[in-house]
Every structure is written in C-alpha cells, then in structure tokens.
Amino acid sequence: MYRDFLDIIEQKSKELDDLSDQIWDHPETAFSETESVKILIDFLCKEGFEVTSPAYGVETAFTAKYGNGKPVIGILGEYDALAELSQKSDCLWKEKVEGLSNGHGCGHNLLGVGGIAAALAVKKYLESGAPGTIIYYGCPGEEGGSGKAFMAREGAFLDLDLALSWHPAEVNEVIQDTSLANIQVLYKFSGVSAHAAGNPQNGRSALDAVELMNVGCNFLREHIIDQARIHYAIVNSGGFSPNVVQSYGEVLYLIRAPKVKQVQELLERVNKIAQGMALATETKVEYEIIKSCSNLIPNHVLEASLLRSFQKVPMPVYTKEERELARKYTLTASRTERAVLETHISRMNQQENSQFLQQRKLDDFYDFVIPYEKKLTPPLMGGSTDVGDVSWQCPTAQIETSTWAPNSGGHSWQIVSQGKGSMAHKAMRYAGKVLAETIIYLLTSPDVIKQAKEEYKERMQGEVYMPIPKEIKPRPIEELGRSK
Ligand SMILES: [Zn+2]
C-alpha cells in the first residue's frame, strides 16, 4: 500500500473536484472539447507535467507526461459530453439548464479528472527518482467519435507497456467484459427534385431510397449473428417540404459485432442494400466511413492487479444523507425501467453464486467491490468502447467505481444531475487511488508486467489490427447531416 503517494489525491481533493465540475459546466461533444482541454491542460502544466497538445493529429487530443525510462504506463482520460442531455445539477427531476443543450450523461467530466488524480499520485512516487514514465492521454470524442481509434491509427499506444482506465458506474468492479467492434458509415443519396403533385413522374426521391434502405436493413437483421447490431439515424431527410420530391438524403449507420472482421462482413451486406435501393429508386448513393472501433482484448493479469488494489485502497465513506439522496434518485426511474432492472438483478443473482450479488437490491447503494471470478470467455457488454483500440496496441484493463445511484441508467438526465455531487467526487477520487495504487505496484513488479505482456501476445496471435483508413478525419458530430 503506497499510502504516502495516494495521499496527494485527498490533499488536492478540492482542486480535483473543482476541475471535474468545470468540465461539467462546459459540456462539449465529440471533437469540439476545446474548453475542456484547456481546463485540463492548464492544471497539468501547473502540476509539472510535460504536455503535448494537440496530439496524434486530433485537435482536442493531448498527452501529459512525467518520468524517465521504462516501464511506460498510460492512463486514459475522457472529457466529451452528449448532445441534448442538458440537465440541472443536484436536481431530482428532469430540468434543462437554460441556454445549454449538451450534458455529461456518461460522467466523462469525472472520468478525465479521475485519471489525472491517478497521474498525480504516480508522479509523486516517480519524484523519488524511481525509473518509469507515466503518460496521461487526453482522449476526445469517445461518444460517437472513437477518438482513441484515431489516436491509435497514429500508433499512440504502441510504445506503452500497458494502459489503464476507469469509467463511472453504479458498482465498484474490475471490468471483465469485452465490447463490440463497430463502424459508423454515412450513406448519402442523391436524386432529382420535382413538384410532388405537379410532375412527380420527373422526381427521383432520395428520401424514398433512405427509407427503403432502412427497411432492407430491418429485413437483414433476421439473417445476422445474434450479437451483431445494426442501428441507424436519418440525419438529413432532404428538407421540410412534403410537396417537393427530396433530392438529397443522408442516413447514418452504426454496425456492431463482436469481432472487427464480422463488422466488415456486415458492412458489405449493408452496402449491397444501399446500392440495391439506389438502383430501385434511380438515385445515386455514396458512402463515407465516419469512424470505427475495435473490440476489447481483456487482460487477466492486469485485471488481477486492479483487484489487488481494490482490496488495498479504503472504500470511500458515504454519509447517511448521501445514501438517502441515492435512494431518491433510484426512485426517479420509471416503473418499466425498474422492472427491467429487477429482472436483470434476479437473473444475475441466480447465475452468480456470490453472497454479495445475492444481496443486491434495487435501491441499495453499491459500496462494495463486486467479486472477481476469472472468466475464460469474457462476457460481452452491449455496447462498444474505443478503449478497444488501445487494447489492440498494448495490454489494457479498466475498473468502474460506484458513482451514481443504482438504476441511474446510461446516458440519462439522472447521471448528469449527479455528476457534481459529493458521491460522484468520492467515486472519482477512489478510482484515481485504485489506478495509482495499481500503477505503482506494477512499476515495482516487472514480473507482473512481463506476464501481462505474455498474455497479450498470446491473445493477439493471428489477429491483425485494422486501423481507421488514413483518409478519414475526426468529425464533430454536429456536422453530420449538414453535408451536401
Ligand atoms: Zn462513457
């Protein structure tokens, strides 16, 4: 236990909490995080880190480095918000902040600063002259942008011995799940406009093509593997006039599957539908890859190291008032959401023969670490993460800490509302301490790093990393649907 080094996180608790609150106050979406980056960089420079900004060809990516020589350990931080999730802080009902449309509905205000807390404690350790380098990666655009995949394309994580991260959640746990690889593609249909009543025979509708493509893909869904997912959003419907045949339309597709190769196979099938519907409607179609990300490669050695630190770092102490507030947030979820969660919990309780999980109730605040059982086949999480791309370049692992009331959901107003609360701050600092404890342990345990690398090598046998094609540039999400 490296208590002396970890103490700095409590000593600087006010500054760290303020930093996270400032990011919360400036919710910026993928690749537009200029203010958030400035806030974080100012702090890191002041703390004596060597900052490089921008980094790896991404305007709102940066690195902050301290130390010398090997091992080189990366900490991944995020700071992007979600569109249309504006919500007042510490408010038990849904209410927007006047004049703000975005909100931190995934807790990335905490995620970025929790990583900085860890970097501060590791720096404290390295200041003694111990060998090793810590690099904090400021990773933009996780939501819908896969910022880390763009950074990985430039080899950002290749020289690392390992990388660690965390994510705010409803529980404390070492993440064992693997994630879905994905690709996001914009289909752009062009037709011919005409008066919809006067001379419809001359019109060729791009909107018809978009709608037919979606129908085609809905039929395709019956003939794909169970774990694959196809989602779409019409981002440009061609205008607001039903009396004009729409000559242009765009639909954004997100295709997911457990493996990158499966995503590529599905993409080819979706492309065929797009081409078929263009042929049928006598329109033209072009498509543009917006981004992609890879599935997560787990690393049991690093997971065990994180678990070891969870057992050593004292859990935050939560007050009666905080627990009471958490319970109130839990009750704000709709009955349907709660029913779904209840089924989920009872299923988990049946599957997991653990006394902790047996105790899980809908409105308990989860102030315990979920027991870790090494799983040969890692469970598949429903979504994707660009941490996946980091895990294709070096051994990578993550934790979650209990930041929100149970049943807060994902990307919800409840998460935005709790993002500046005392429980969230405690969870953020707790995550920082667990990560720092793990990193200092690893810096002093070359054998464990060696084992983690051996496991990585074994898992990567026969696998080839497929980076985002060179010509694709990171694009702010609000730009989509405006191209023509
Ligand atoms: Zn997130």
- What band does 342 get if pLDDT is binned at 50, 70 and 90? low
pLDDT value for 441: 97
Q: Judge if 59 and 142 occupy the same domain.
A: yes
Q: How much is the pLDDT for 409?
A: 81
Under a CB-based contact definition with an 8 Å cutoff, are residues 411 and 84 in contact?
no
Angle at 386 between CA 384 and CA 387, to 5 degrees: 105
pLDDT at 447 over 90: yes
- Do 304 and 210 share a domain, yes or no? no
Domain membership of residue 474 (yes or no) is: no
Domain membership flag for residue 76: yes
The reply to whether 288 and 301 lie within a common domain is no
pLDDT digits (tens, 9 = 90+) for 176-215: 888 999 999 999 999 999 999 999 999 999 999 999 999 9
Q: Are residues 282 and 412 in the same domain?
A: no
CB atoms within 10 A of CB 290: 23
- Does any domain span residue 249? yes
Provide the domain limits for residue 308. 3-177+295-332+365-460
Q: How far is the CA of 143 from the centre of ligand 1 (A)?
A: 7
| Same domain as 423, residue 395 | yes
Separation of CA 278 and ligand 1 centre (Å): 36
Tokens describing residue 208: 């018809």
What separation in Å is there between the alpha carbon of 83 and the centre of ligand 1? 13
Segment 225-242 shows an average pLDDT of 95
Residues 138 and 187 in one domain: no
- Domain finish residue from 267, 294, 321: 294
pLDDT digit string (tens) for 456-473? 999 999 888 889 989 899
Q: 122: helix, coil or strand?
A: helix
Q: What is the pLDDT of residues 78-123, one digit of tens each?
A: 999 999 999 999 999 999 999 999 999 999 999 999 999 999 999 9
- Residue 156: the pLDDT is 98
Whether the predicted pLDDT of 63 surpasses 90: yes
* CATH number of the domain within which 226 lies: 3.30.70.360
Distance 78 CA to ligand 1 centre (A): 8
Q: How far is the CA of 115 from the centre of ligand 1 (A)?
A: 14
Give the Cα separation of 130 and 66 in Å (integer): 12
Clarify whether residues 135 and 257 are in a common domain.
no
281 neighbors 207 (Cβ within 8 angstroms): no
- Let me know if residue 466 belongs to a domain: no
Supply the pLDDT for residue 484.
42
Same domain, 78 and 23: yes
Tell me what pLDDT residue 153 has: 96
Q: Which residues partner with 52 through β-bridges?
A: 63
Q: Is residue 216 part of a domain?
A: yes
Provide the 8-state DSSP code for 80.
Answer: -
Give the DSSP letter of residue 197. Answer: T
Strand blocks (E) in 263-368: 284-293
Q: Which is nearest to 137 in space by CA: 81, 80, 73, 182? A: 73
Rounded Cα–Cα distance for residues 283 and 76 (Å):
44
Q: Tell whether 111 and 194 lie within a shared domain.
A: no
Which single residue is written with the structure tokens 């690392």?
A: 160
pLDDT at 44: 98
Q: How far is the CA of 109 from the centre of ligand 1 (A)?
A: 10
pLDDT: which is higher, 477 or 458: 458
Assigned domain for 471 exists = no
* Predicted pLDDT at 348: 60
Task: State residue 1's pLDDT score.
Answer: 60
The per-residue pLDDT for range 280-311, each reduced to its tens digit, is: 999 999 999 999 999 999 999 999 999 999 99
Domain count, the chain: 2
User: Is residue 360, in this structure, part of any structural domain at all?
Assistant: no
Cα(289) to ligand 1 centroid in Å equals 22
C-alpha 248 to ligand 1 mean position (Å): 33
Residue 345 has pLDDT above 70, yes or no: no
The last residue of one of the domains, among 242, 277, 294, is: 294
CA distance 258 to 267: 14
Can you tell me the mean pLDDT for 343-365? 59
Instruction: Give the pLDDT score at 368.
Output: 85
- What's the token pair of residue 91? 């408010």
- State whether 253 and 305 are in the same domain: no
CA–CA gap between residue 407 and residue 169 (Å, rounded): 10
Residues 300 and 289 in one domain: no
Q: Is residue 94 part of a domain?
A: yes
Same domain, 148 and 30: yes
> How far does the centroid of ligand 1 lie from the alpha carbon of residue 463, in Å?
26
For residue 32, report the distance from its CA to the centre of ligand 1, in Å: 16
Alpha carbon of 274 to ligand 1 centroid (Å): 31
DSSP string across 157-213: TTT-SEEEEEEEESSBEE---B--EEEEEEEEEE-B--BTTTSGGG-B-HHHHHHHH
CA of 118 to the centre of ligand 1 (A): 18
394-437 pLDDT, tens digit per residue, is 999 999 999 999 888 889 999 999 999 999 999 999 999 999 99
Residue 379 burial (C-beta neighbours within 10 Å; 0-12, 13-18, 19+):
exposed
Q: Report the distance separating Cα 80 and Cα 26, nearest Å.
A: 10
CA distances from 148 to 151, 218, 292 (A): 5, 30, 10
Q: In CATH, what number is assigned to the domain containing residue 421?
A: 3.40.630.10
Encoded tokens for 190: 């062009």
DSSP 227: T
Mode of pairing for the β-strands spanning 62-68 and 284-293: unpaired
